[in-house]
């Protein structure tokens, strides 16, 4: 039905059950060629289509079947995952790379609870994501029915907002609203719980256009008066540093921040989620700070007098002990979420607003660049004092850092890296030179082992064809979600998985050596599956690396291969991650070797 067409029946002839044509008002929201919806489930899918959704990641099951049945006729490409956790991580990574909410679907009960880790991960990292879960029919809710879980109850603390749909005429709009909310302001996961009777019910009600609830407000521009004061502070700063967080990338402010830093010659540090917000090969870049940040970033953040933190929540892995965090610095804190201001670190200059808008406001307000000549020299000197050089004797076991650098070398600047969590994640972060936003896809706040493989699937589908997708994983992380390899093979996804295999839960082993007298409780595998052969069994291309002279050729072959390949890279099992600031420690006192811990 086209926009503005007259209703077939007169309004007074219509009754609720017989509204077999959409009203002109709702029809206006649907695309002209789309067939009118006939059920709650079709309204759910229509809401996704209207929002421009191209991919959805999920697993079938009883209570979500009506939604899948409606999806069968849709142009949305559904990627059938091997496990719901993987569906959530894939949707999360899709959201990071695409900048649009990723969609995951699961059935009620175990389907929904399997999503929980992925939802919590997205919540911690403010990644835009919509989870749609089936639910038992409304009349059974509360009776402990088969596969019933209180999904909205379970996910309340880990979603930006969630909704239990209770009206077939409203269910499509619930999904539209969840989509809008996931991406607006500070992004995050939203969830719509879909009872089977609601999705099965007849309705002709087209979903409303995506719109956030009327109680949801986002402040775009910061208070001018504080902007002026902050600009003055920057002008007179003697030791300024910019700290770019994940909010810079999510707020599309990377370019504005880069211009600001370069014009005013201010050294730049990125948080881990902010990786890629500023090119790491630029001389102003000090790379990342915090627990495993570079020595120079940690020296700079500890000794600065003016800290311009943008889109960062001052997580404890960044700050170390609060008492010793940037103790001489006045903080200019830019964040779109007012609750992040002065939550962990008091902000002398609180600037609530959209990152890009506020950086432009600051740019307009600033009259001169800070002098800070000695400071810039000092930062460069720290760079030469604390190089990230590692010893790599040819006759000793392979260094993981060498493999990461070789991977970086073998791929383009826009290649995307996904990781699990642990030592391999830190090496992938430290030794790859990131120059573009949305090329680092990792689990930061929640620290979810097993994130890397499903994330690579989501990232692959969101990425451009010329972007390589490399999953740098650990043996422990890889084993946690390895079933997803079947999805990569089935969907013929061009991904290179590189397992930095030390047959340990390596980060735990490193901590046990440092803080638990070397007692390796439950951290030694001493045996791992042969990942190259396992890959072959899955139908992927398997490779193995043991020595330095195999590295370059193997990586080239794996990256060249058009499809999923797995490199089982046997690294020095005793390799540790440095620098390291122990939990709650002083960033400026980072350890360079174990005996400094």
| Enzyme catalytic residues | 84, 146-147, 196, 507
Q: Least CB distance from residue 410 to other proteins, whole Å?
A: 23
Let me know: does 349 contact 330? Beta carbons within 8 Å: yes
**CA 75 to chain CA mean position, Å:** 26
Q: Binding mask 314-353 vs other proteins (x if CB under 8 A, - otherwise)?
A: x-------xxxx-xxxx------xxx-xxxxxx-xxx-xx
86 touches other proteins by CB under 8 A: no
Task: Name which of 349 and 543 has its Cβ closer to other proteins.
Answer: 349
Among residue numbers 375 through 434, which ones bind other proteins (CB under 8 A)? 385-390, 396
Q: Least CB distance from residue 160 to other proteins, whole Å?
A: 7
Residues 6+ apart with CB under 8 A from 217: none
Task: Name which of 181 and 308 has its Cβ closer to other proteins.
Answer: 181
38 touches other proteins by CB under 8 A: no
Residues 6+ apart with CB under 8 A from 466: 412, 414
State the Cα–Cα distance between residues 403 and 205, nearest whole angstrom.
Answer: 55
Task: Name which of 202 and 514 has its Cβ closer to other proteins.
Answer: 514
Task: Name which of 396 and 530 has its Cβ closer to other proteins.
Answer: 396
Whether cis (ω within 30° of 0) applies to the bond prior to 579 is yes
Task: Name which of 152 and 418 has its Cβ closer to other proteins.
Answer: 152
Query: In the set 2, 9, 433, 574, which binds other proteins (CB under 8 A)?
Result: 574
Among residue numbers 443 through 472, which ones bind other proteins (CB under 8 A)? none
232 touches other proteins by CB under 8 A: yes
State the Cα–Cα distance between residues 585 and 564, nearest whole angstrom.
Answer: 41
Opening angle at CA 310, ends 579 and 191, nearest 5 = 95
Phi first, then psi: give them for residue 335, nearest 5 degrees: -155, 145
11 touches other proteins by CB under 8 A: no
Among residue numbers 165 through 224, which ones bind other proteins (CB under 8 A)? 181, 213, 215-219, 223
Q: Least CB distance from residue 82 to other proteins, whole Å?
A: 32
Q: Least CB distance from residue 257 to other proteins, whole Å?
A: 21
Residues 6+ apart with CB under 8 A from 22: 1, 30, 36, 37, 204, 205, 206
Orientation of helix 224-235 relative to helix 355-365, angle to 10°: 60
521 touches other proteins by CB under 8 A: no
371 touches other proteins by CB under 8 A: no
Let me know: does 50 contact 210? Beta carbons within 8 Å: yes
368 touches other proteins by CB under 8 A: no
Phi first, then psi: give them for residue 359, nearest 5 degrees: -65, -40
Residues 6+ apart with CB under 8 A from 372: 237, 238, 239, 240, 265, 266
State the Cα–Cα distance between residues 503 and 522, nearest whole angstrom.
Answer: 12
| Contact window for other proteins (CB under 8 A) among 442-450, 490-498, 533-541, 576-584 | 576-584
Among residue numbers 267 through 296, which ones bind other proteins (CB under 8 A)? 295
Task: Name which of 113 and 166 has its Cβ closer to other proteins.
Answer: 166
Among residue numbers 106 through 165, which ones bind other proteins (CB under 8 A)? 152-153, 156-157, 160-161, 164
What is the DSSP secondary-structure string of 536-563? HHHTSEEEEE-SHHHHHHHHHHHHHSSS
Q: How many residues bind other proteins (CB under 8 A)?
A: 72
Of the candidates 447, 448, 424, the residue with the CA atom closest to the CA atom of residue 567: 424
Q: Least CB distance from residue 23 to other proteins, whole Å?
A: 24
Q: Least CB distance from residue 168 to other proteins, whole Å?
A: 18
Of the candidates 571, 266, 163, the residue with the CA atom closest to the CA atom of residue 406: 571
46 touches other proteins by CB under 8 A: no
Task: Name which of 236 and 369 has its Cβ closer to other proteins.
Answer: 236
State the Cα–Cα distance between residues 96 and 462, nearest whole angstrom.
Answer: 9
Q: Least CB distance from residue 79 to other proteins, whole Å?
A: 29
State the Cα–Cα distance between residues 223 and 219, nearest whole angstrom.
Answer: 10
Task: Name which of 335 and 468 has its Cβ closer to other proteins.
Answer: 335
State both tokens at 105. Answer: 């679907």
Q: Least CB distance from residue 355 to other proteins, whole Å?
A: 14
State the Cα–Cα distance between residues 6 and 21, nearest whole angstrom.
Answer: 10
Q: Least CB distance from residue 164 to other proteins, whole Å?
A: 7
Query: In the set 49, 513, 536, 550, which binds other proteins (CB under 8 A)?
Result: 513
Cβ neighbours of 522 (radius 10 Å): 8
Query: In the set 299, 379, 407, 469, which binds other proteins (CB under 8 A)?
Result: 299
Task: Name which of 79 and 175 has its Cβ closer to other proteins.
Answer: 175
């Amino acid at each position: 039905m086209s926009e503005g067409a007259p209703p077939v029946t007169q309004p007074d002839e219509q009754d609720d059950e017989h509204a077999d044509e959409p009203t002109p008002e709702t029809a206006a929201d649907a695309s002209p060629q789309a067939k009118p919806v006939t059920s709650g489930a079709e309204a759910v899918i229509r809401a996704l289509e209207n929002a421009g959704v191209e991919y959805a990641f999920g697993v079938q099951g009883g209570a979500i079947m009506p939604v899948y049945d409606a999806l069968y006729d849709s142009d949305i490409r559904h990627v059938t995952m091997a496990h719901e956790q993987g569906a959530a991580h894939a949707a999360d990574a899709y959201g990071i790379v695409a900048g649009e909410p990723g969609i995951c679907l699961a059935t009620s009960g175990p389907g929904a609870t399997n999503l929980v880790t992925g939802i919590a991960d997205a919540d911690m990292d403010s990644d835009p994501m919509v989870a749609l879960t089936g639910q038992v029919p409304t009349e059974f809710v509360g009776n402990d029915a088969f596969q019933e879980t209180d999904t909205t109850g379970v996910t309340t603390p880990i979603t930006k907002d969630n909704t239990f749909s209770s009206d077939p005429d409203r269910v499509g709009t619930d999904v539209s609203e969840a989509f809008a909310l996931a991406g607006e302001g500070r992004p995050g996961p939203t969830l719509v719980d879909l009872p089977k009777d609601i999705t099965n019910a007849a309705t002709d009600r087209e979903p409303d256009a995506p719109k956030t609830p009327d109680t949801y407000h986002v402040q775009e521009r910061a208070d001018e008066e504080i902007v002026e004061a902050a600009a003055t502070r920057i002008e007179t700063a003697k030791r300024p540093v910019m700290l770019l967080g994940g909010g810079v990338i999510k707020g599309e402010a990377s370019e504005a921040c880069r211009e600001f830093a370069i014009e005013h010659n201010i050294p730049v540090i990125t948080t881990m989620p902010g990786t890629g917000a500023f090119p790491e090969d630029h001389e102003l870049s000090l790379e990342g700070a915090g627990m495993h940040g570079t020595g120079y970033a940690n020296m700079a953040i500890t000794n600065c007098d003016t800290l311009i933190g943008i889109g960062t929540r001052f997580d404890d892995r960044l700050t170390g002990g609060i008492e010793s965090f940037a103790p001489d610095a006045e903080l200019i804190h830019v964040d779109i979420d007012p609750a992040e201001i002065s939550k962990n670190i008091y902000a002398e200059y609180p600037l609530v607003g959209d990152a890009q808008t506020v950086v432009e406001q600051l740019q307009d307000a600033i009259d001169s660049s800070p002098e800070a000549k000695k400071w810039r020299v000092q930062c460069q000197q720290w760079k030469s004092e604390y190089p990230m050089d590692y010893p790599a004797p040819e006759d000793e076991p392979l260094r993981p850092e060498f493999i990461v650098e070789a991977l970086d070398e073998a791929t383009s600047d826009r290649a995307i890296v996904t990781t699990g969590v642990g030592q391999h994640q830190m090496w992938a972060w430290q030794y790859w030179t990131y120059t573009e936003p949305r090329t680092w896809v990792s689990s930061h706040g929640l620290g979810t082992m097993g994130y890397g493989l499903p994330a690579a699937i989501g990232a692959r589908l969101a990425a451009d064809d010329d972007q390589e997708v490399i999953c740098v994983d650990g043996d422990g992380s890889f084993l946690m979600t390895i079933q997803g390899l079947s999805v990569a093979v089935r969907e013929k996804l061009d991904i290179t998985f590189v397992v930095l295999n030390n047959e340990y839960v390596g980060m735990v082993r490193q901590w046990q050596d440092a803080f638990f007298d070397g007692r390796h409780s439950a951290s030694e595998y001493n045996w791992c599956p042969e990942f190259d052969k396992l890959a072959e069994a899955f139908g992927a291309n398997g490779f193995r690396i043991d020595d330095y002279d195999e590295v370059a050729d193997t990586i080239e072959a794996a990256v060249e291969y058009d499809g999923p390949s797995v490199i089982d890279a046997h690294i020095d099992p005793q390799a540790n991650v440095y620098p390291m600031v122990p939990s709650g420690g002083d960033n400026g006192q980072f350890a360079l070797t174990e005996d400094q811990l």
